[in-house]
Amino acid sequence: MWDIKARVRRGLEVRRKVFGDVDEVEWKRSNDEFDPEFHDIMLGFRWGTITARPGIDMRTRMLCRVAAFLAQGNLETVDTIVENHIRGALRSGATPQEVVEVILETGLAAGIHKWKARTTAVRIFKEMGYRQGVDWGPPLPDGW
């Protein structure tokens, strides 16, 4: 039997590991009282069931999500989603270089305009203390 309460609890735990407590406020805001049952179903199914599966690690799942959201297009609408998932990928163990490669590969497969996400990624890398030439990209020449 599908125990929704247990899956919601697991979903909350998984989401917090990936996005931290800061995202919890946004999640709750976007899932208001319109239909609390739907909120629980989505949290329990998406995060407590699919995302919590043992088949692949969270790092890989989050890199897949970055690629999937980029491939959807309409980056003006999904920019915040892409940003959250880049952060989630890094928090889940992805390296900045892996994020760069996913953006580049997605751009090749889904359209060059997807590379716009590179500016979002670089901003996030810098905010989180990663360094170009050390954590991502080729080493910088002396004096940079």
Strand partners, 132: 136
136: pLDDT confidence band, cut at 50, 70 and 90? Answer: confident
CB 120 within 8 A of CB 82: yes
* Non-local CB neighbours of 31 within 8 Å, separated by 6+ positions: 39, 42, 43
* Confidence band of 4 (pLDDT split at 50, 70, 90): confident
Please say whether the beta carbons of 117 and 70 come within 8 A.
Answer: yes
pLDDT bin (cut points 50, 70, 90) of residue 109 is confident
Q: Which of these, 112, 113, 114, 18, lies nearest to 67 by C-alpha position? A: 114
Rounded distance, CA 102 to CA 115, Å?
A: 10
Tens digits of residue pLDDT in 35-57:
778 888 888 999 999 999 999 99
Given this model, what pLDDT does residue 86 score? 93
DSSP reduced 3-state for 17: helix
- Domains, the chain, in order of start with CATH, read 1-53 (no CATH), 57-134 (1.20.1290.10)
Take residue 123 and report the two structure tokens written for it. 């901003």
**Model confidence pLDDT, tens digit, residues 10-36:** 998 999 899 887 666 666 666 667 777
- Give the pLDDT confidence of 59-107 residue by residue, as tens digits: 999 999 999 988 887 666 667 788 889 999 999 999 999 999 999 999 8
